[in-house]
Amino acid sequence: MAVLVTGGAGYIGSHTIAALQERGEEVIIVDNLQQGHKEALLGGKLYVGDLRDGEFLDVVFKENDIDAVIHFAANSLVGESMKLPGKYYHNNVYGTLCLLEKMNEHGTRKIVFSSTAATYGEPENVPIDEFDRTLPTNAYGETKLAMEKMMKWFDSAHGISYISLRYFNAAGAHESGRIGEDHSPETHLIPIVLEAALGKRPHISVFGDDYSTADGTCIRDYVHVSDLADAHILAVDKLRGGSSSSIYNLGNGRGYSVKEVIDIARSVTGRDIKAVIEPRREGDPAVLVASSERARNELGWKPSRSGLEDIIKSAWKWHEANPNGYQK
Ligand code: UFG
């Protein structure tokens, strides 16, 4: 039995593949390599192609005995999604529809889904739990919520059970230092701060210091990418054990402000990182912190790399060794 990982050459996908390999799973990867890097794959059998290509997916399912899918393949830039919502609906929503139809046709009935805190939008409660209101404030989050809802109906009609994992802020890199975060363009705080530490950027722009938080900057719940990878494997196991569909938040339950992130990065790197206060970025909620009690209780998830200093240390190890990302 094999696990199919879509979008496996991306940041969280590649770390999940590393974890699947470590436990001896047979791994099949589908990635169109528009954003992913084949250098990020530490194993598995790669098929380069797009989920929206039915004939291509038929070959993948026919050539392999796939019992479960972990679905990462998607566009994931919040800002871009506001400018090009059609791109996000086409790749994310229609791509997921094509995948679910092929799973149904080929008899694969388990899917673990890469979802996001962006499905909640501006939170009503902090920490956020899975029963809180979902009202996305950007097209990216809206497409991820639509994908979750699509899975619900494929479950009720066709018995495809799903576990949706709503991550908060993924960060860090694999402990081997062989894989890490390499987005183009990069928009996430920690890699940008580390690029400033490397001298690749003159400074880090702090998007707003007038939020109603202790130091005025936004607070986020950073979670190590390898802890996220572990959660996907627990979710596959749970579905293989016959569990019904579910949704889980994944975060550490502790928030750090943008200024705290920069201070910790200064101490981890020993470098002078210049910060410049700039206007707020549109659509940023002030505070996003997860309640992951459900994942801990029902999945048995125990994040083991939860301190922000350790998360930034692992990211720094990757960025220092690979200042220009993966070598092509
Ligand atoms: N930030 C800066 N300067 C930067 C980049 C980010 O100040 O150069 C701030 C942002 O304003 C935000 C915090 O750092 O307050 C974190 O920003 P990221 O872009 O790293 O992450 P987000 O919280 O915006 O995004 C994350 C996930 C998205 C998801 C979103 C949910 O990466 O996939 O949470 O809101 F959609």
Q: How confident is the model at residue 282 (pLDDT cuts 50, 70, 90)?
A: confident
- Find the 69 Cα to ligand 1 centroid distance in Å: 28
Q: What per-residue string of b and e applies to 287-326 under the rule 16 or more CB within 10 Å gives b?
A: bbbbbbebbeeebebebebbebeebbbbbbbbbeebeebe
Q: Span 290-296, mean pLDDT?
A: 98
For residue 188, the ligand 1 atom closest to its alpha carbon is 20
**Residue 17 identity (one-letter amino acid):** I
Chain segment 183-222, per-residue pLDDT in tens: 999 999 999 999 999 999 999 999 999 999 999 999 999 9
Comparing CA positions, the residue from 212, 249, 260 lying closest to residue 118 is: 249
Comparing CA positions, the residue from 292, 320, 319 lying closest to residue 227 is: 292
Q: How confident is the model at residue 264 (pLDDT cuts 50, 70, 90)?
A: very high
Sheet holding 161-167, edge to edge: 45-48, 26-31, 2-6, 66-71, 110-116, 161-167, 246-250
What are the angstrom distances between the C-alpha of 197 and each of 129, 172, 323? 35, 15, 11
Whether 116 contacts 166, CB under 8 Å: yes
Alpha helices in the chain (DSSP H): 11-22, 54-63, 78-83, 85-88, 95-106, 139-158, 189-197, 225-240, 258-269, 293-294, 308-321
- Find the 143 Cα to ligand 1 centroid distance in Å: 18
Positions marked catalytic: 140
Whether 261 contacts 189, CB under 8 Å: yes
Backbone angles phi, psi at 81, to 5 degrees: -65, -25
SS3 77: coil
- E strand or H helix at 207, and its extent? strand 204-207
**Residue 70 identity (one-letter amino acid):** I
Q: Which residue has the tokens 């083991």?
A: 304
What is the reported pTM?
A: 0.98
Ligand 1 contacts CB of residue 264 (under 6 A):
no
* Spatial separation of the C-alpha atoms in residues 164 and 71, rounded to whole Å: 10
Ligand 1 contacts CB of residue 149 (under 6 A):
no
Q: Taking 80 as the threshold, does the pLDDT of residue 261 lie above it?
A: yes
Ligand 1 contacts CB of residue 188 (under 6 A):
yes
Give nearest CA residue, ligand 1 atom 11.
207
Q: Span 110-114, mean pLDDT?
A: 98
Ligand 1 contacts CB of residue 78 (under 6 A):
yes
Q: Which of 88, 281, 311, 312 to mutate to test the pocket of ligand 1 (most atoms within 8 A of CB)?
A: 281
